[in-house]
Amino acid sequence: MLAAGTGDSSGPGQRSLARNAAARMAVALAVGLMGAALLLALLYGVRSDLRTLLQQPLFWMKVSFPLAALSAGQLAATRLARPGMRIGLGPAAALLLPPCVLWLAGGVWLALAPPSQRLELLLGSSWEVCSANVALLSLPTLATMLWFLRGLAPTQLRAAGAAAGLVAGAQGVLVYSLYCVEMAPPFWGVWYVLGVALPTAAGAWCGPWLLRW
């Protein structure tokens, strides 16, 4: 009877907490996205052929990676925002799936390409700046995701910070895709993934002192 009463009394509180977390997450993502879009417009601009680009299936394959990584990162961050929660096996597998699928696609793409073109497919024309550009565009979302987590009660601070960085990096790739001219999966599998890894590492590094409560 005690367990049942405890469960009943905690139900509304848990639902209220979940609604609060969802609302904070929505605000964090929206403000971060606006910040990244503003940075893109100020620093790089948007491709002039965007309307044509949106009609190409390869472009939607390109943005499917950051969208999948963003969804997985949101799930992990929402779990880690609660005290005592770990990522769990399912969300952890969801985090690994987007880069693994991208690496598989890139490997097949390279295998089917003539050997003389493989290095070009990996490096493209912007490998020197791509990952840094993605990391730069991720900064607004990294800041807002850390705000999201600070307003709740994470206890796995390094993991929570890494999840915030992953969300930020994925959103950075998504915005950068509106400017980037690279259309080869091998390139995405190296430089986009590295661009996501940089804010993820930054979030893991700063999480223990920025998220402490």
* 148, 164 contact by CB (below 8 A): yes
- The DSSP secondary structure of the chain, one letter per residue, reads -HHHHHHHHHHHHHHHHHHHHHHHHHHHHHHHHHHHHHHHHHHT---TTHHHHTT-HHHHHHHHHHHHHHHHHHHHHHHHTSTT----HHHHHHHHHHHHHHHHHHHHHHHHS-GGGHHHHHHTTTTTTHHHHHHHHHHHHHHHHHHHHHTS--S-HHHHHHHHHHHHHHHHHHHHTTT-----HHHIIIIIHHHHHHHHHHHHHHHHHHS--
Residue ranges per domain, the chain?
18-210
pTM above 0.85, yes or no: yes
Are 32 and 173 in contact by the 8 Å Cβ rule? The answer is: no
Per-residue pLDDT of the chain (213 residues; tens, 9 = 90+): 333 344 444 566 567 667 788 899 999 999 999 999 999 999 998 888 888 988 999 999 999 999 999 999 999 999 999 888 778 888 789 999 999 999 999 999 999 999 999 999 999 999 999 999 999 999 999 999 999 999 888 999 999 999 999 999 999 999 999 999 999 999 999 999 999 999 999 999 999 999 987
